[in-house]
């Protein structure tokens, strides 16, 4: 029989390109057979091939017993293959693991340093709690091995032991501590490594080592170790503030002198994450140190190496919390990173910038980001003849120009950005703009325009990897995981926030919302595309602030479009709510004469609403349905009232009639009833936790059932419906219910072509207004032309009465339609210049260098109600509790996670009360684990006891190739012998003989040997007595 070697396998793989699957399947089958071979060489080759194939995802867990056989080979080459296979394929639940104890014990006592290191390395991968417990003494001994090569590995493997068997930490800690003084540097380095890992779990234990570690820090020349020591100290310093003073000189010395960037960075990082800078903040030492760090980090940023840039941004982000002003001083280099061609650097920079924005740089930063988001399009050509506009640009643009040296775009924009990056950028923009209740917002009108612009840049809905077949739990998790709300909704929320909080721009915000609602069909095609959920807030604003609408008639038209019913359910339900509000605004004015014309208009509008709501009243979404049905009734009443109310005729009052003129008021339902539904207190922002401050009234009784007979009624209703009908009806209802609550709405992905179409139509819309933007200056480069045009028009309008502002309308010879529009022109919208002397004084002495500072409109931003009372103290327990539960749930999910829970809070001191005092429920769970562990241990014990004897007795040279199989037989025999207590020698010989026979047969006929092996395995698990008896039978 011809066996392939690994070499042949690889060559074969390469030869069978395109047909690898079949070849691999065939090879796996061959390996299966070869692994059962009695020839150790063949077995070993098969295992080696299996390891290779495992790399490509072909599990070799079935071969674990053969692996164990190869591991126990006498030849180092084979042993090494065996260990490699074990390392790659064994898991904690691999059942042969408990058979490995003795093998490892033996290899750990090997005189050959390579075998020894093989065993240690193997153990570091496959260690289980029982292995850890059984082998701890051997490993502790190895920590004092004469060869540093062994010592360093023995020390390092101890961490893995501790993870599985924390008790070992107590017994071995003195040894571990000694290794810190080892004369071999790598051993010390390993020790530091282990202590560093340990101290993250429970730093308290390792405080006594501080002097030794400090000594190492000052004397070591090994950068690797120094990095670890610094990491270690940064977990110790929070516990021992006195360390800070001691550490600062050596660390700052390293920062000044080292040439190794990694060490330099880790020093700075250690200073930050160890809280050293925080601790020293305010003192001159601390300031010097911080300045030094920031200086070095600036060097990283300037250097041009992208890796250094990346880490520097990471470190600076952490520093903003304590030394924001120092970081802010470096904003020139940091802002450059926002436009870096590397997306990961951009994201880091963005994160950093969010933390450091202030009034001055907010606009330029957002401008940069918007420019990034701007889709790459070919027609970025400048339109000439718009120059005159630019000359008249306001100061803010000029200021912006100087701050932001825009680099020529095309090269940068050529990179198409991934959707999740866009998504992230939009979120960041919102975050930095809304920070501290808009503390940094210089201009809210600008912000609203930015928001509208952002809606257009929204990436399409991000598809979850699982596609549309997500079940409800996944869906929920995916959504709640990062607290992720759709970006569109997020933008909408901002828009609403501004509209509610900032009264002065409420009109502007409402107009923006109007625009969004009005254009919804073109901007958010049914086929998907992002940002649609902004309508949720837009519709609300439109309804709530209907009095600010530019054109309420058109708005209600667009609210009533029949295509709206295909919007997401929650959006539709806000639409349903908004419609009566706008309607009420339109119709409630009783000063407008109730003429026949008016009557027709109103009645027509009412009919349309009734019609629209009728279609929704059978909506499968409960919320939509409920609201629609409710309002439907009201509007039907209204319709009735309108038809019944005669109109005032247009006839001129006739003198002859004695001055009697029949005048009719609009129906009361329009002027009184419907408006009263929506009038009341003004809505103010409320702090998220305000509700909790409201005391629960004593009389509130949530226990008593409202209808004590409810259960009976329900059951009788079920019964009444009766028959076969009920099932299908209920099932149908269930389906709808299921569909609504548990299924993700089907996402139709917009194709590229559609997207382009939409973009084109958007452009066309802009063009139609006769307003093409120029791409020359500030806002134009990131806001879409139509928004820019609107802004300009508004600005002109605002400056119309300003004698110092030279209007451009005349000069350019263009007429722009008055955006505020004909009859609904509102005199209040013309801003009245307020002369603020305080501001003026500031301007006079202010820095003329930067250009005029951004004129900050003084706006009143409404804070959260109830904020003052809210101390936020009670937020903690709830949050933590829920987090805990979640964390537990998620634990299994994270795949590379190392379970170190054993070590968390593990104390070096004797446990007793300390451990017991900890959470009781944890103790309960532990008990269960303990019990199981005990069982495993006992099982292992059973295996181990009988094996000890024969190893001592059996001559090692006897048939080495027989390997483990043989040994096991022997052990059983021995056990049997021990039980029976007689015929020791005779029994064993018999066994040997039998074995030989078997071996001979097996060599020729593999198939026969399989059941033998299997049988043995089974027996091994049974109790000693049984095994002994069985073996006795075997032998007999």
- The nearer residue to another protein, 482 or 838, going by C-beta atoms, is 482
Q: Give the span between the Cα atoms of 53 and 59, in whole angstroms.
A: 8
Of the chain, the end-to-end C-alpha distance in Å amounts to 35
Q: Give the span between the Cα atoms of 542 and 678, in whole angstroms.
A: 13
Residue choice 886, 993, 1018, 1021 for contact with another protein (CB under 8 A): 886
Binding to another protein (CB under 8 A): which residues in 865-884?
Answer: 882-884
Q: Give the span between the Cα atoms of 271 and 283, in whole angstroms.
A: 15
Paired with 218 in beta bridges are none
- The nearer residue to another protein, 588 or 902, going by C-beta atoms, is 902
Phi, psi of 831 (to 5 degrees): -70, 140
Least Å distance, CB 269 to another protein, is: 8
The stretch among 50-58, 324-332, 493-501, 752-760 that binds another protein (CB under 8 A) is: 50-58
Least Å distance, CB 888 to another protein, is: 9
Residue choice 80, 323, 506, 969 for contact with another protein (CB under 8 A): 80
Q: Give the span between the Cα atoms of 791 and 450, in whole angstroms.
A: 11
Residue choice 92, 710, 917, 932 for contact with another protein (CB under 8 A): 92
- The nearer residue to another protein, 261 or 329, going by C-beta atoms, is 261
Phi, psi of 524 (to 5 degrees): -120, 80
Residue choice 342, 431, 626, 757 for contact with another protein (CB under 8 A): 342
Least Å distance, CB 94 to another protein, is: 9
- The nearer residue to another protein, 92 or 592, going by C-beta atoms, is 92
- The nearer residue to another protein, 213 or 308, going by C-beta atoms, is 308
Least Å distance, CB 13 to another protein, is: 9
Residue choice 2, 18, 19, 55 for contact with another protein (CB under 8 A): 55
Binding to another protein (CB under 8 A): which residues in 419-448?
Answer: none
Least Å distance, CB 895 to another protein, is: 5
Least Å distance, CB 32 to another protein, is: 17
Spatial contact of 132 and 170, defined as CB atoms under 8 Å apart = no
- Binding flags for another protein, 167-186, as an x/- string (CB under 8 A): -------------------x
Report the interhelical angle of 242-257 vs 223-236 (nearest 10°). 150
Q: Give the span between the Cα atoms of 602 and 596, in whole angstroms.
A: 10
Structure token pair of residue 654: 């006739």
- State yes or no: residue 341 binds another protein (CB under 8 A): yes
Which ranges of 826-919 does DSSP label H, i.e. alpha helix? 837-845, 875-891, 913-917
- State yes or no: residue 890 binds another protein (CB under 8 A): yes
- The nearer residue to another protein, 66 or 348, going by C-beta atoms, is 348
- The nearer residue to another protein, 335 or 345, going by C-beta atoms, is 345
Site size toward another protein (CB under 8 A) is 83
CA dihedral sign, ordered 328, 332, 333, 337 = positive
The stretch among 72-80, 129-137, 539-547, 630-638 that binds another protein (CB under 8 A) is: 72-80
CA dihedral sign, ordered 540, 546, 547, 549 = positive
- State yes or no: residue 345 binds another protein (CB under 8 A): yes
Least Å distance, CB 881 to another protein, is: 11
- The nearer residue to another protein, 551 or 900, going by C-beta atoms, is 900
Which ranges of 184-222 does DSSP label H, i.e. alpha helix? 185-201, 210-219
Binding to another protein (CB under 8 A): which residues in 762-821?
Answer: none
- State yes or no: residue 58 binds another protein (CB under 8 A): yes
Residue choice 18, 57, 659, 1011 for contact with another protein (CB under 8 A): 57
Least Å distance, CB 324 to another protein, is: 23
Assign 182 to helix, strand or coil.
coil
- The nearer residue to another protein, 159 or 545, going by C-beta atoms, is 159
- State yes or no: residue 894 binds another protein (CB under 8 A): yes
- State yes or no: residue 120 binds another protein (CB under 8 A): yes
Q: Give the span between the Cα atoms of 526 and 765, in whole angstroms.
A: 19
Q: Which residue has the tokens 């802010």?
A: 328
Q: Which residue has the tokens 């390395």?
A: 121
- The nearer residue to another protein, 227 or 276, going by C-beta atoms, is 227
Q: Give the span between the Cα atoms of 242 and 6, in whole angstroms.
A: 59
Spatial contact of 917 and 905, defined as CB atoms under 8 Å apart = no
Least Å distance, CB 60 to another protein, is: 8
Least Å distance, CB 231 to another protein, is: 6
C-alpha atoms less than 13 angstroms from C-alpha of 8 in its C-beta half-sphere: 10
Contacts of 466 (CB under 8 A, 6+ apart): 474
Residue choice 102, 164, 172, 190 for contact with another protein (CB under 8 A): 190
Least Å distance, CB 466 to another protein, is: 11
Residue choice 76, 604, 742, 825 for contact with another protein (CB under 8 A): 76
Spatial contact of 275 and 238, defined as CB atoms under 8 Å apart = yes
Phi, psi of 65 (to 5 degrees): -70, -40
Binding to another protein (CB under 8 A): which residues in 2-31?
Answer: 7, 10-11, 14
Binding to another protein (CB under 8 A): which residues in 194-223?
Answer: 194, 196-197, 200, 223
- The nearer residue to another protein, 884 or 993, going by C-beta atoms, is 884
Q: How crowded is residue 50: how many other Cβ atoms within 10 Å of its Cβ?
A: 28
Q: How crowded is residue 965: how many other Cβ atoms within 10 Å of its Cβ?
A: 22
Binding to another protein (CB under 8 A): which residues in 447-486?
Answer: 465, 477, 481-483
The stretch among 29-37, 153-161, 731-739, 860-868 that binds another protein (CB under 8 A) is: 153-161
Q: Give the span between the Cα atoms of 480 and 470, in whole angstroms.
A: 14
- Of 433, 287, 306, nearest to 370 (Cα)? 433
Q: Give the span between the Cα atoms of 484 and 461, in whole angstroms.
A: 12
Gyration radius from the chain CA atoms: 39
Residue choice 96, 99, 156, 293 for contact with another protein (CB under 8 A): 156
Residue choice 37, 38, 101, 193 for contact with another protein (CB under 8 A): 193
Q: What angle do CA 194, 909, 930 make, to 5 degrees?
A: 80
Least Å distance, CB 172 to another protein, is: 16
Binding to another protein (CB under 8 A): which residues in 540-559?
Answer: none
> Counting runs of H as helices and runs of E as strands, what totals does the chain give?
51, 0
Q: Give the span between the Cα atoms of 57 and 12, in whole angstroms.
A: 18
Cα distances (Å, whole numbers) of residue 707 to 22, 703, 710, 720: 69, 12, 5, 20
The stretch among 25-33, 82-90, 133-141, 655-663 that binds another protein (CB under 8 A) is: 82-90
Which ranges of 462-505 does DSSP label H, i.e. alpha helix? 472-481, 487-501
Residue choice 652, 753, 896, 1007 for contact with another protein (CB under 8 A): 896
Least Å distance, CB 160 to another protein, is: 5
Q: Give the span between the Cα atoms of 139 and 118, in whole angstroms.
A: 13
Least Å distance, CB 353 to another protein, is: 18
Q: Which residue has the tokens 């598809």?
A: 463
Least Å distance, CB 477 to another protein, is: 8
- State yes or no: residue 231 binds another protein (CB under 8 A): yes
Least Å distance, CB 462 to another protein, is: 12
Q: Give the span between the Cα atoms of 256 and 459, in whole angstroms.
A: 46
Binding to another protein (CB under 8 A): which residues in 238-297?
Answer: 261-262, 265-266
Least Å distance, CB 307 to another protein, is: 5
Q: For the chain, give the number of residues.
A: 1036
Concatenated DSSP letters for 614-665?
Answer: HHHTT-SSHHHHHHHHHHHHHHHHHHHHHHHSPPPP-PPPPGGGTT-----P
């Amino acid at each position: 029989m011809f066996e392939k070697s690994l070499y042949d396998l690889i060559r074969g793989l390469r030869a069978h390109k395109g047909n690898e699957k079949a070849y691999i399947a065939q090879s796996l089958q061959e390996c299966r057979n070869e692994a059962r071979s009695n020839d150790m060489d063949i077995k070993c080759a098969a295992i080696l091939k299996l390891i290779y194939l495992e790399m490509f995802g072909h599990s070799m867990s079935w071969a674990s017993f053969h692996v164990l056989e190869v591991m126990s080979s006498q030849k180092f080459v084979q042993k090494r293959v065996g260990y490699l296979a074990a390392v790659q394929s064994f898991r904690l639940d691999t059942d042969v693991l408990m058979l490995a104890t003795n093998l490892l014990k033996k290899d750990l006592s090997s005189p050959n340093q390579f075998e020894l290191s093989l065993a240690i390395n193997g153990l570091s991968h496959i260690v289980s709690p029982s292995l850890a417990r059984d082998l701890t003494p051997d490993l502790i001994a190895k920590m004092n091995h004469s060869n540093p090569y062994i010592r360093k590995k023995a020390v390092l493997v101890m961490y893995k032991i501790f993870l599985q068997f924390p008790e070992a930490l107590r017994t071995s800690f003195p040894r571990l501590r000694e290794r810190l003084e080892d004369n071999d540097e790598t051993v010390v380095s390993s020790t530091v490594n282990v202590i560093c890992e340990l101290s993250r779990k429970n730093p308290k234990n390792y405080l006594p080592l501080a002097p030794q570690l400090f000594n190492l820090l000052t004397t070591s020349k090994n950068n690797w170790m120094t990095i670890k020591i610094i990491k270690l100290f940064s977990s110790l310093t929070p516990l021992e503030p006195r360390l800070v003073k001691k550490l600062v000189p050596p660390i700052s010395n390293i920062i000044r002198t080292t040439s190794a960037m990694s060490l330099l960075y880790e020093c700075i990082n250690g200073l930050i994450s160890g809280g050293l800078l925080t601790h020293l903040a305010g003192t001159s030492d601390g300031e010097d140190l911080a300045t030094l760090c920031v200086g070095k980090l600036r060097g990283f940023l300037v250097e041009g190496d992208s890796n250094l840039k990346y880490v520097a941004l990471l470190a600076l982000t952490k520093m903003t919390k304590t030394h924001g002003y120092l970081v802010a001083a470096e904003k020139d280099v940091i802002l450059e990173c926002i436009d870096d061609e590397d997306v990961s650097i951009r994201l880091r920079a963005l994160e950093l910038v969010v933390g450091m924005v202030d009034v001055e740089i907010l606009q330029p930063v957002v401008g940069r980001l918007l420019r990034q988001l701007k889709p790459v399009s070919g027609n970025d050509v400048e339109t000439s003849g718009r120059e005159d506009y630019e000359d008249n640009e306001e100061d803010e643009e000029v200021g912006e120009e100087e701050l932001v040296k825009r680099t020529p775009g095309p090269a940068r924009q050529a990179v198409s950005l991934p959707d999740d990056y866009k998504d992230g950028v939009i979120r960041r923009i919102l975050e930095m703009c809304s920070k501290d209740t808009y503390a940094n917002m210089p201009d809210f009108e600008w912000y609203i325009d930015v928001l509208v612009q952002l809606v257009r840049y929204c990436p399409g809905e991000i598809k979850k990897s699982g596609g549309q077949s997500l079940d409800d739990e996944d869906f929920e998790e995916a959504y709640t995981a990062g607290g992720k709300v759709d970006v569109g909704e997020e933008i909408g929320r901002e828009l609403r926030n501004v509209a509610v909080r900032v009264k002065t721009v409420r009109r502007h915000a409402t107009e923006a919302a109007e625009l969004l609602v009005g254009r919804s069909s073109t901007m958010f095609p049914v086929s998907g595309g992002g940002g649609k959920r902004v309508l949720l807030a837009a519709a609300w604003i439109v309804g709530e602030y209907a009095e600010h609408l530019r054109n309420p008639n058109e708005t209600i038209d667009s609210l009533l479009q029949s295509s709206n019913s295909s919007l997401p359910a929650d959006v539709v339900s806000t639409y349903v709510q908004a419609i009566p509000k706008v309607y009420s605004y339109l119709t409630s004015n009783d000063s407008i004469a109730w003429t026949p014309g008016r009557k027709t208009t109103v009645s027509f509008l009412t009919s349309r609403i009734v019609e629209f709501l009728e279609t929704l009243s059978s909506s499968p979404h409960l919320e939509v349905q409920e609201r629609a049905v409710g309002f439907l009734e009201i509007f039907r009443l209204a319709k009735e009232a309108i038809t019944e109310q005669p109109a005032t005729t247009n006839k001129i009052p006739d003198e002859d009639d004695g001055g009697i003129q029949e005048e009719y008021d609009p129906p009361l339902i329009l002027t009184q009833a419907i408006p009263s539904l929506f009038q009341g207190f003004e809505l103010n922002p409320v702090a998220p936790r305000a509700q909790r401050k409201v005391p629960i009234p004593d009389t509130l009784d949530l226990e008593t059932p409202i209808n004590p007979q409810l259960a009976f009624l329900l059951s009788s209703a079920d019964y009444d419906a009766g028959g076969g009908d009920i099932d299908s009806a209920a099932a149908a209802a269930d389906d709808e219910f299921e569909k609504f609550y548990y299924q993700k709405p089907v996402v139709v992905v917009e194709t590229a072509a559609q997207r382009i179409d939409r973009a084109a139509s958007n452009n066309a819309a802009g063009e139609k207004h006769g307003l093409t933007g120029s791409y020359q200056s500030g806002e134009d480069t990131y806001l879409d032309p139509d928004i820019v045009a609107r802004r300009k028009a508004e600005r002109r309008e605002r400056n119309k009465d300003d004698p110092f502002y030279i209007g451009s309308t005349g000069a350019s010879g263009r007429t722009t339609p008055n955006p505020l529009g004909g009859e609904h022109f509102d005199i209040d919208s013309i801003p009245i210049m307020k002369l603020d002397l305080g501001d003026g004084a500031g301007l006079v002495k202010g820095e003329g260098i930067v250009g005029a500072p951004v004129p900050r409109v003084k706006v009143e931003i409404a804070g959260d109600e109830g904020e003052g009372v809210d101390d936020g103290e009670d937020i903690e327990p709830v949050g933590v509790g829920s987090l805990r539960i979640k964390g537990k749930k998620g634990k299994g999910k994270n795949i590379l996670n190392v379970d170190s829970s054993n070590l968390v809070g593990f104390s070096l001191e004797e446990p007793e009360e300390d451990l017991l005092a900890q959470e009781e429920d944890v103790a309960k769970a532990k008990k269960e684990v303990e019990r199981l562990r005990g069982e495993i241990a006992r099982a292992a014990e059973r295996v181990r006891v009988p094996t000890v004897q024969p190893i001592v007795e059996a001559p090692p040279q006897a048939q080495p190739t027989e390997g483990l199989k043989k040994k096991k037989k022997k052990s059983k025999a021995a056990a049997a012998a021990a039980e029976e207590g007689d015929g020791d020698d005779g029994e064993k010989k018999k066994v040997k003989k039998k074995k030989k026979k078997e071996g001979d047969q097996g060599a020729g006929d593999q198939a026969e040997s399989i059941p033998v092996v299997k049988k043995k395995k089974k027996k091994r698990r049974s109790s000693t007595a049984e095994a002994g008896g069985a073996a006795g039978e075997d032998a007999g």
